[in-house]
Structure 1
Amino acid sequence: MLNRDEKLPAIKLTIIQYVIVGILLILLFGLWRLQVVGASNYRAMAEANRIRKVPILAPRGKIFDREGRLIVDNYPSVSCFLVREQGHDYMADLPLIARGLHMTVEQIEAILKKYRTAPKYQPLPLKQDITPDEQEFIEAHRDEMPELETIDEQRRLYPRDGFAAHLVGYVGEVSEEMLDDPRYAYYAPGDVVGRSGVEESYDSILRGTDGSRDVLVDSHGREMGRLGTEHAIPGKSLKLTIDIDIQRAAENALGDRNGAVIAIDPHTGEVLAMVSRPTYDPNAFAVRIGREEWSKLITDPAHPLLNKAIQAQLAPGSTFKIIMALAGLQEGIAQTLNVDCRGGANFYGHYFRCWVHSGHGAVNITRGIFQSCDVYFYTLAERLGIEKIAKWAHMLGLGQKTGIDLPNEVAGTMPSEEWKMRNFHQKWYAGETISVGIGQGAVAATPVQMVRALAGIASGGALKRPHVVFPDELPPEYRKAILDSFPGSGDVTIPIDPANWETITDAMAKVMDPGGTDYSARLEGIDFAGKTGSAQTMSNALAQRMGHAKSMQDNAWFVGFSPRRNPDIAVCILFEGGEHGTLAGRLAARVIEAYVNKQRREHKNVEQPKTVARVDVGAIWSDPAHPQVYGGRAVVAHPKAGQDASLAAMHGGHFYLTIPPVEAAVR
């Protein structure tokens, strides 16, 4: 029994009592917070553990040609995702998962590392487009590996053999660099986006909106039921300006040759066909391209991923002489310029050869065009000077983007005094102008720039912005934003004297006549005009030092259209290493012929109208009531043309007359 001295002092006992009461109050407060204040929060957390949100991926919109024929479709696919919020140690399951999905543990670990910063609730894509046996593996191990989830989705199905690959583009997983771009602020890691071509330009329209499905799961993550569904909104389909028939003709014409083809409707700027070689298979990107295949594509010296129709910046060679001819005529110089070509000439102390070493003899502007006399255009360049050449070239869109609605268009180069000072801090020397006169030197253009410029000249000065999607196909809320994202020269009208316009287009029609530079490209019964070009890829001196056969390394160009004035189709061919423009001209002729023959078939070979005439002054006379000939411009000749004629319309500086029925012969 304790004595009085061993009893606790009253003050200590009081302190202990207060401590005990304080601890009880703290415990009661904590219990109150848990049971009352935090009830709704914890109830939501418990509900989240019980309900899983499974994404429903929206299918991308389909892509059609101008006639509604399918180009790009979707196919059903199943992908496997890893769900990390099951309270399950999925790391221990990696070897079994790898075997069942025909992967390696290292591949899975690389995926986990890639998405290490992703939120815990976000499923991680393990393998896309899994096979039926892999689906069976997941279902068979559902209880022991609840972290594996399958999701149905629609994957892209592109044409075989790289048909229209550079135009259409491909889709792929959004990269970390893209996620840092404000344009991709609404995307999450693992999302599929357009990475090239139309797929990239119009991704916001094609993409659609993903939905989700709320699934009831137990504590092991096993699905127990479904609560509700937010349906996905499919992406909108697009109708392109491309004509599959013309595209096929262009693909077949270029074949396995390296280069590009682009065909446009000069009246509207609609792109009818676009080909770039070498090509690639966009289906390889639809799932996930392998590292080895990707490395092969990006290291290939032929650049298969480069869309050469809008990205190849090369010297245009003699096709540039048409721009020179327009500048010379508009400046009042070429009309009276006559040159005696003896195979070359001296300018500023240097001898410049003509491509015909024996010479062309007496040459005027017409002969200079259809025989492509270098000496004539050397002389014209000397008379014009670089500033006047640059002025007209810039007016025709060289040295600037056209604004075509495809990603990564390049601007090319049109040299001038200001350009050289800005880029090299040097003055321009007059001798440099001579090479510019034949499309060499510092001049660099893309096929889309050349076809637009020359088609614009043939259209009397009306240059249209090239485009691959009909603007009225775009939702109003997207239209301006998308088109404004492709800055360029757009639609432009430049003043061209009708006499100069006729001189140039008539001379270009003679290119395919005997004595022209490309008689082999002549098309019987088709009013076809064009210009050949051959451009050096290196100087003759350098080629000799390197031991190359120089002629085999020239790039061949051709720009042609039909009919010769106010054309309905214009085509540019770039044939890399094609040696001479004549080889490119034959390829262009195949595209032009395919187009004209299709127009004639569609109009069922209706008898040629007898109420259309072309008068001696050289203007084009057309009866708007008979659009079936040459797509709207029938050109016929009759000795009584112009007599008793009544003015029907005047458009773009061209007179359209209707004359009484007379016997006429198709020209």
Structure 2
Amino acid sequence: MNLWGRFAKKSSAQDASDLLTREGDLPAIKLTIFQYVIVAVMAVLIFGLWRLQVVNAESWRALAEANRIRKVPILAPRGQLFDRDGRLLVDNYPSVSCFLVREQGHNLEPDLPLIARGLHMTVDQIHAILKKYRTAPKYQPLPLKQDITPDEQEFIEAHRDEMPELETVDEQRRLYPKDGFAANLIGYVGEVSEEMLNDPRYEYYEPGDVVGKSGVEEAYDALLRGQDGSRDVLVDSHGREVGKLGTERSKPGQNLRLTIDMDIQRAAENALGDREGAIVAMDPHTGEILAMVSRPTFDPNAFAVKIGRDEWNKLITDPDHPLLNKAIQAQSPPGSTFKVIMSVAGLQEGVAQNFKVNCQGGATLYGHFYACDKHHGEVDIEHALPWSCDTFYYMLAARLGIDTVAKYAHALGMGQKTGIDLPDEIAGVMPSTEWAMKQYHRKWYAGETVSVGIGQGAVAATPIQLARALGGIASGGVLKRPHVVFPDELPAEYRSAMRDSFSGSGDATIPINPDNWEIITDGMAETTTSGTAFASHLEGIDFAGKTGTAQVVNHSAGVKSVSSIKSERANAWFVGMAPRRNPDIVVAVFWQHGGWGAGSAHLVAKVIEAYVDKQRRLNNNLVAEKPQPVEVGAVWSQPNDSKGLGGKPIDPRAPKGDPAATAFAGHFFLPPPAKAKNENAKADALATVVH
């Protein structure tokens, strides 16, 4: 073999030896890596077992128990509602509902046709419920059907072994007064919606829970709702109940006493009848709402179980809006009721005292003729209010200017919420130069002020605003926050939270010169004796107020207010009170498309008369039974003595020497006229076309 051949052979042998050496080294490395992996896996497994068996032993034991223990909810009854005298308004009645329990691994589909037949439902309805609650936890029972009938209860009991997924729960459902009595004030309840569940206020609620949806039911839901309980039952592997364990009792909701008086509420309901609009009666000394009516209304009992889709669509598409509480949510130009506020502004500014106009059926201002409904002749402030002379207030508004008018109107709560403890109150509108720039990015025109002077144009108010404002004026400028629940009967922290939640103008004091106060209150009293509301005069009762006719077409076409076309008739306002100064009751009526404001005055008179009659009965009874001094509302009865007034009640708030302080055995008898009036002027006023 030559040298090259021996070298090649040696090189091949060396390469083979090196290759074998490298191949023998690789399995050792892999083995080492594999050993480390096994050790790591074992360590993880041991750590996991330690966590399961030692650290989280209690948690897993509880979960294991949950597989055989089912929690059945015990629903808390809502608190009852009473009127101010403790008479029951809203109660509860016992009911049974069916819930669907979704056991892990149990297929419900085969049972659905039988369930649907037994509960008088369709399979599609059950599928819709399952779809609605598809994101709910599996352990949470789903509300299948509410307020089931006795035969449906029997069906569930008869098939309990084969369909353990059906569970019955006892609960209390709302029972409201008949015929929609105080419905818009009380409100209604319903199932919490998905949108509400996304609201932080409802973070503690679960799908299927019942919550207040409007009125008192919504505003005080947290107090009325109570706290649900539960009972624990043992179930077998098929979900069948085999035993009972402990029970966590539910905590009923808190009862609430409302400020409304059932007798005054009934009088207001009867007075408004089937007319569209609202009535609100309030004690201006305290802000307590004595009655609140809105028409058309609805039956809240329809919501107590679950309102049908057709009925719900009918309510929300009704053009007359029965779900709207018109007492706090309907805003309209206040018409001539605004002249009381104008009188305050004019007198307080020192303008109206010696201001006189010659009314010849209107006035020409800024190149435009503004009509008045009558030729009143020479008119001063003492006649302008009871006669409701538009010409006087046109010219007074032009003299004051919009910002001065707005200053006093805002101080009296116009254009802002009152802060009443009911949801969705509307603020209304009070225009000004700043308002025009902010809303429309333009300047305010002087001619617009003229219309505002008679409560037309851009100004808009709600009945509750006008009741508070005019009642506050008659009370010497003391305005109270309206409320429907007695605040001192609420927990302190809840009372504070309510004030924050329902913010508004609240309590306020607007200084009014006593002389100006007398002029205004005497003018409102004359409105019901010889002015625009003389037909609603109440004999023996110091009844005062102001009419308002808010045109919905245009003011110059007076015929429109009595048109046979409903949508063209004016809105009829009246705000009345008794007595004229420091009144114990103020009533505002908004009669939608009612025509002249004098028609609403008649409705207010009915409510005032019912209130006074009740107070007189109470005073007589209390005086007969208790000779000691006793307080009835705002009226004090005294026994006969040489220093008193022969047993006649005295209003301690009336100014000394005020004839309104001597009342009946009535706080409401007419006082003697404060000032002599021109008899010819009175005769002219009686012939005035009232508005």
Shorter-chain TM band: 0.7 to 0.9
1:424 aligned partner: 440
Alpha-carbon distance between aligned partners in 1 of 2:617 and 2:604, rounded to the nearest angstrom = 20
1:62 maps onto 2:66 in alignment: no
Between 532-541 and 116-125, the greater mean CA deviation after superposition = 532-541
2:339 aligned with 1:314: no
Residue 173 of structure 2 corresponds to residue 155 of structure 1: yes
CA distance in 2 between counterparts of 1:258 and 1:657 reads 38
- Go from structure 1 to structure 2 and tell me whether the alpha carbon gap of 1:345 and 1:189 turns closer, same or farther (over 3 Å shift): same
1:533 to 548, 551, 554: 548
Residue of structure 1 equivalent to 2:511: 495
2:370, 2:556 within 8 Å by CA — same for their partners in 1? no
User: Do the aligned partners of residues 550 and 26 (structure 1) sit closer, same or farther apart at CA in structure 2, a change above 3 Å counting?
Assistant: closer
Contact residue 551 and residue 579 of structure 1 kept, 8 A: no
Are the counterparts in 1 of residues 371 and 555 from structure 2 also a CA contact under 8 Å? Answer: no
Checking the alignment, whether the CA contact within 8 Å between 2:95 and 2:173 is kept in structure 1 is: yes
Quote the residue 2:392 is aligned against. 376
Aligned equivalents of 1:382, 1:246: Cα separation in 2: 41
What amino acid maps onto 1:256 in structure 2?
A: D
Of the two, which has the highest radius of gyration?
2
Distance in 2 of aligned mates of 1:166 and 1:592: 22
Q: 1:68 to 1:605 in 2, by over 3 A?
A: closer
Q: 2:424 aligns with which of 403, 408, 433?
A: 408
Deviations 1:235-279 (A, max 9, x none): 110001000000000000000100000000011000000000000
1:600·1:628 contact (CA, 8 Å) conserved in 2? no
SS of 1:604's partner is: helix
Query: Is 2:311 aligned against 1:293?
Result: yes
For the residues of structure 1 that align with 2:444 and 2:388, how far apart are their CA atoms? 26
- AA of the residue aligned to 2:130: L
1:165-209 deviation line (CA, Å, top 9, x unaligned): 111111111111111111111111111111100111111111111
Q: State TM-score, norm by structure 1.
A: 0.87
Counterparts in 2 of 1:651 and 1:558: CA distance versus 1, 3 Å: closer
Alignment-derived partner of residue 680 in structure 2:
none
Residue 620 of structure 2 is aligned to residue 631 of structure 1: no
1:110 offset after TM fit, Å? Answer: 1.0
Matched, 1:391 2:393: no
Segments of 5+ residues of structure 2 without an aligned counterpart are: 1-23, 645-649, 672-691
Question: Does 1:334 find its partner at 2:352?
Answer: yes
User: Does the 8 Å CA contact 1:88/1:147 hold for their aligned counterparts?
Assistant: no
Q: 2:217 aligns with which of 171, 183, 199?
A: 199
Aligned match of 1:612: none
- Aligned 8 A contact 1:552 1:578 in 2: no
In 1, the alpha carbon distance for the partners of 2:518 and 2:489 equals: 36
What SS does the aligned partner of 1:603 have?
Answer: helix
SS of equivalent to 2:620: coil
Letter aligned with residue 132 of structure 1: P
The Cα of 1:40 is off from its aligned counterpart by 4.7
Residues 284 and 583 of structure 2 are in contact (CA less than 8 Å); yes or no, is this contact kept in structure 1?
yes
Q: Distance in 2 between matches of 1:505 and 1:540?
A: 27
Task: Name the structure 2 match of 1:46.
Answer: 64
Structure 1 CA distance, aligned partners of 2:537 and 2:574?
13
Q: Residues 337 and 627 of structure 1: is their aligned pair in 2 closer, same or farther, counting only changes over 3 Å?
A: farther
Q: Which residue of 2 aligns with 1:261?
A: 279
Label 1:335 to 1:41 Cα distance change in 2 as closer, same or farther (>3 A). Answer: closer
Q: Does the C-alpha gap of structure 1 residues 22 and 580 become closer, same or farther in structure 2, counting only changes over 3 Å?
A: same
| C-alpha distance in 2 between matches for 1:321 and 1:497 | 18
Q: Which amino acid aligns with 1:341?
A: C
1:448 maps onto 2:452 in alignment: no
Q: 1:42, CA displacement in angstroms? A: 4.3
Shift of 1:341: 1.0
CA distance in 1, matches of 2:52, 2:356: 102
| Partner Cα distance (1:351, 1:320) in 2 | 21
Name the SS of the counterpart of 2:67 in structure 1: helix
Amino acid at match of 1:290: G
Match of 2:140 among 116, 122, 135: 122
Question: Per-residue deviation at 1:80?
Answer: 0.6
Tell me by how many angstroms 1:44 deviates.
2.7
Q: CA 1:36–1:420 in structure 2 vs 1: closer, same or farther (change >3 Å)?
A: closer
CA 1:605 to 1:519, structure 2 compared with 1: closer, same or farther past 3 Å?
Answer: farther
CA, structure 1 residues 626+291, in 2 after alignment: closer, same or farther (shift >3 Å)? closer
1:236 to 254, 263, 267: 254
The CA deviation at 1:631 is 3.4
Identity of aligned residues (%): 66
1:224 aligned to 236, 242, 251, which one? 242
Q: Deviations over 1:75-123 (max 9, x none)?
A: 1010111101253211221111111111111111111111111111110
Shift, 1:501, TM fit = 0.6
**Equivalent-residue separation in structure 1 for 2:404 and 2:342 (angstroms):** 10
Is 1:600 aligned with 2:616? yes
Aligned to 2:21: none
> Alpha-carbon deviations, 1:304-342, whole Å to 9, x = none?
011000011110000001001111111111111111111
| Structure 1 partner of 2:109 | 91
Q: CA deviation digits over 1:419-439, x for unaligned, max 9?
A: 000000000000000100000
CA gap 1:650/1:54 in 2 versus in 1, 3 angstroms: closer
Q: In structure 2, how many angstroms separate the alpha carbons of the residues matched to 1:554 and 1:239?
A: 37
Which whole-Å CA distance do the structure 1 matches of 2:135 and 2:607 have between them? 52
Distance 1:659 1:72, change over 3 A: closer
What per-residue deviation string (whole Å, max 9, x for no partner) do you get for residues 103-146 of structure 1? 11111111111111111111010111111111111111111111
- Using the TM superposition, give the Cα deviation of residue 497 of structure 1 relative to its aligned residue in structure 2, in angstroms: 0.6
Aligned to 2:187: 169
Alignment of 1:81 onto 2:81: no
Identify the residue that residue 301 of structure 2 maps to in structure 1: 283
Q: Secondary structure, in 3 states, of the residue corresponding to 1:232?
A: coil
Residues in 2 aligned to 1:657 and 1:322: alpha-carbon distance in whole angstroms: 22
Displacement of 1:552 = 5.3
**In structure 2, do the counterparts of structure 1 residues 649 and 103 end up closer, same or farther at CA, with 3 Å as the change threshold?**
closer
Do the aligned partners of 2:95 and 2:147 also contact (CA within 8 Å) in 1? yes
Letter in 1 for 2:545: G
1:600 maps to amino acid: R
Distance 1:158 1:174 in 2: 19
* CA spacing shift, 1:581–1:44, aligned 2, 3 Å: same
Q: 1:415 to 1:369 in 2, by over 3 A?
A: same
State the one-letter code of the partner of 1:71. L
Aligned residue in 1 for 2:574:
558
1:49 Cα offset (Å):
1.1
Secondary structure, aligned partner of 1:81? strand
Identify which range, 598-607 or 83-92, moves more after superposition.
Answer: 598-607
For residues 580 and 659 of structure 1, the distance between their equivalents in structure 2, rounded to whole angstroms, comes to: 33
Q: Structure 1 residues 454, 55: CA separation in 2 closer, same or farther (over 3 Å shift)?
A: same
Q: Is the 8 A contact 1:498 1:653 kept in 2?
A: no
Aligned residues: 623
User: Is contact 1:557-1:574 (8 Å) kept?
Assistant: yes
**Per-residue deviation at 1:387?**
0.8
Deviation for aligned residue 1:538: 2.6
Q: Does the alignment pair 1:486 with 2:502?
A: yes
Tell me how far apart the structure 2 counterparts of residues 35 and 432 of structure 1 sit (CA, whole Å). Answer: 79
Q: Which one-letter code corresponds to 1:175 in the other structure?
A: S
Counterpart CA distance in 2 for 1:285 and 1:31 is 53
1:484 is displaced (CA, Å) by: 1.7
Taking the aligned partners of 1:216 and 1:606, their CA distance within structure 2 comes to 61
TM-score (normalizing by structure 2): 0.84
Could you say what the CA RMSD is over the residues aligned between the two structures, in angstroms? 3.3
* Alignment counterpart, residue 534 of structure 2, candidates 484, 494, 519: 519
How far apart are residue 483 of structure 1 and its match?
Answer: 2.1
Q: How far 1:633 sits from its partner (Å)?
A: 9.9
Q: Residues of 2 paired with 1:540 and 1:650: CA distance?
A: 44
Q: Is the 8 Å Cα contact of residues 90 and 145 (structure 1) preserved in structure 2?
A: no
CA drift of 1:512 comes to: 1.5
